[in-house]
Each structure stands twice: as structure tokens, then as C-alpha cells.
Amino acid sequence: MRIANCAMRNDLGRPVRSEVAPITEPANLRTSEDHRASLVRRGLRLNWLTIAYNVVEAAVAIGAGVVSGSVALLGFGLDSVIEVTASGAAQWRLRADLDPHRRERVERATLRIIGWTFLALAAYVVYESLDALVGREPPERSVVGLVLLALSALVMPLLAGAKRRVARAMTSRALEADATQTSLCAYLSVIALTGLALNAALGWWWADPVAALAMVPIIANEGVEGARAEDRCHC
């Protein structure tokens, strides 16, 4: 920007150079942008933490599910894989936040990604649970599975609450869907834990696949809402 000079003279008759100050952005606009950037950084940290936990959770749950023959544990492990996918999509959404036009497009795409992964998980759980019930396949006791599910029931609500606060502050439906998926992980851990505990304590082999089937309405509902991904986004 070229600075304009004005020929002025002081009381002694000497010329005085006067500089015109450049136009600056309003302070409230800068504050709003800084606050949003801070929310993005916080959201990214929470998502990295979610991804790290769920990678470990998926490996342990799927391994324990295969060893014990537990459909609920397998379903829970696959939900952890879905959570990693959802958190990865949320990372994409957060990194696109600085561009308002790109933000809106990524918002809808992220909702659809999360929604379809939910539906895929619901279909898998239904298939495996019905197969176990028809074949009367009792799962073995899994101490590792019980400990993992109990830990997830404690950790996931804390992560979900923190992520939901960021999502609401940014008015992002996609990020709130990701937070809901994290909350769902906590609910699923309680359901699966109940099924495994009943099988271990009372020998109710059917409690495990029934507990897995109880997950399906919750999963499918979130999937349908996300897959629709209405064109109208409040970003």
C-alpha cells in the first residue's frame, strides 16, 4: 500500500511529513477468527486422542472377540474401527474450517461418510448376531473383554462431552455427529458389557448376541440421519 504524504508546516515554517495510517480489520473480527482457530486446534487434539484410543480398543476388542467367539465384542471392535473413520472425517472437516465455501461442502460430505459407516456396522451386527442365535454358539468368558468394555464406558463419555462442546461452539452438525458417535461407543460398551457379564455369571449364552442386536437401532438411527446429510448445513 502506498503511503500518502501531506505537505504541512509547523510553527517554525518547516515542512512536516504526515502519514496516513493503513486500514486495519475490526478488533471483534480478529477476535472471532482467533477464537474459531482455537476451537479448531482443540478439536484436532481431541480427535487425535480419540483415534489413538480407538485403534488400541479395536485391536483388543476384535482379538478378544475372535478368541472368545463373542459377537458383542466383535461388534464393539468394529464400532471402534468406525469411530476411527468418523474421527478421520472430522479431522478433514476441521482442517477445512478456514475456508467458508469449502467448509460447507466438507460438512455435508463428512456427515454422509459417518452415516454410511454406521449403516455398514448395523448390517454386520445383525448378520453375526442372528447367525450366533440360530447356530446356538455360546461365547467363552473373556476377562480382557470385560476390562476393556468397563474402561471404555468411563473414557468415552469424557471424550464425547469435550468434542460436543467444540462442535456446538463451531455450530457444526458434522462434528456433533462425530461426538454422538463417541457417545454411542460408551452406550455400546455398556450393552456389550451387560451381555458378557450375564453369560459369565449365569451362562446365558444368548445374552451376548441379543445384547449385540440391542445396539442395532441406535447405530441405524444415527446412520440414517447422517447418510441423508441435508443440504442445509448450519456451519
Query: Which residue ranges form the domains of the chain, and what is each CATH number?
Result: 39-228 (1.20.1510.10)
Mean pLDDT, residues 177-191 = 82
Interior/surface letters 209-235, b for 16+ CB within 10 angstroms, e for the rest: bbbbbbbbebbbebbebbbebeeebeb
State the pTM of this model. Answer: 0.69
Mean pLDDT, residues 22-50 = 73
7 phi/psi in degrees, rounded to 5: -80, 105
* Between 135 and 151, residue with greater pLDDT: 151
Q: H/E element holding 188?
A: helix 173-202
**pLDDT on residue 52:** 92
pLDDT band at 10; cut points 50, 70, 90: low
Per-residue pLDDT tens digits for 198-228: 877 888 878 878 877 887 888 888 788 777 7
